[in-house]
Amino acid sequence: MFAKTITATAVAALATALTATAGLAQQELAASIDGPVETGQGQGLVRFGEILEDLTDGALTVRVFPNGQLGTGAEIFELMEAGQVAMVTTAPGYLAEFAPQVQALVVPFVFRDFEHWESVVSGPLGEEIAQIVADETDALVLGYFGGSIRNLVSSQPVETAADMEGLRVRLHPAAVQVKAWEALGVVPTVMAYGEIYSGLQLGVVDGLENEAEWVLRMKFYEQAPTYVQTEHEFVTRPLMFSQQVFDGLTPEQQEAVMEAGRQASAYQRELEHQFDTESKVTLRDEHGVSLVEVDKAAIQADVSAALEPVIAELGLGDMVERIRAAQ
């Protein structure tokens, strides 16, 4: 079912991680992440493993495979559904095909602040979206990672929203994002994430939208030293667990997995939010990045009018309104 052929080394490591032969007291679960273990999301998976091992007295352990070793995007999601990987964190866009309502979590400006975002993903709306995903896929949502804030990163000086006119900005090709930025006069540009640095360097793009931790890790600040605090999206990454792997566990182990997911998600969200704050300070103080405050209310007004038809077309209106109204 899945398209990617992973390396022989990764196959061997994955086989070891998935081994659960009769008579063995331990089962090692494979967890995949696109970035390094040192990131907020990587540390969240490590914490999940620690909690799970403690709750099961060592019967279940977790091995984290970083940097997309086992695949990325749709590839790793298919591996998880097939039970060959136990867990992943994924962008909501990869779930949109099965559960369109998940896209409501990444509609620009749908969250007022971190506290609002936290209350939604850890509350009844987060649980409702998780159930929709479970009903439509072979995976469970154990919780939500994230908490960092995406902003505009620009190689050109930007002081006001008017300065965004004509900027070529690398975006995900999702309709809600494209329409939002077009409303500000931005020229959306599709580019692989790994090509962004050279794209900035060569002038193919003028900027991107990203959270501070990754601007720092990828050194985008070397080519784009202006960080415009649009605060248009709170990063949300559902913590996914294979239904097939889950069904092979004992009831006690299943409850331990659910509890580890709850605890690790709460821990990770606070950690990533902290990393985000610290990374912005590092960008400013150590790398000379300009942190630009803009009139978010004016930007939001422009974006909102452009987004309403897209939100309606995608069938997100009800969920978006409920998120906005949440306390």
| pLDDT tens digits, one per residue of 94-119 | 888 889 999 999 999 999 999 999 99
Question: Is the domain covering 151-233+286-325 a CATH 3.40.190.10 domain?
Answer: no
| pLDDT tens digits, one per residue of 162-194 | 999 999 999 988 889 899 999 999 999 999 999
Q: Contact, 33 vs 85, CB < 8 A?
A: no
Whole-angstrom CA distances from 81 to 87, 108, 245 are: 9, 29, 9
Distance CA 174, CA 178 (A): 6
Q: Which residues contact 139 (CB under 8 A, 6 or more apart)?
A: 77, 80, 81, 133, 240, 241, 242, 243
CATH superfamily name and code, 8-145+236-278: Bacterial extracellular solute-binding protein, family 7 (3.40.190.170)
Distance CA 41, CA 225 (A): 25
Whole-angstrom CA distances from 224 to 162, 164, 202, 290 are: 18, 14, 12, 10
The residue among 240, 239, 243, 238 whose CA lies nearest residue 82 is 243
* Domain spans in the chain, listed from the N-terminal domain onward: 8-145+236-278, 151-233+286-325
Q: What is the pLDDT along the chain (327 residues), one digit of tens a residue?
A: 333 344 444 544 554 455 443 334 689 999 999 999 999 999 999 999 999 999 999 999 999 999 999 998 888 999 999 999 999 999 898 888 889 999 999 999 999 999 999 999 999 999 999 999 999 999 999 999 999 999 999 999 999 999 999 999 999 888 898 999 999 999 999 999 999 999 999 999 999 999 999 999 999 999 999 999 999 999 999 999 999 999 999 999 999 999 999 999 999 999 999 999 999 999 999 999 999 999 999 999 999 989 999 999 999 999 999 999 998
Prediction pTM value: 0.90
Q: Is 59 exposed, middle or buried (0-12, 13-18, 19+ CB in 10 A)?
A: middle
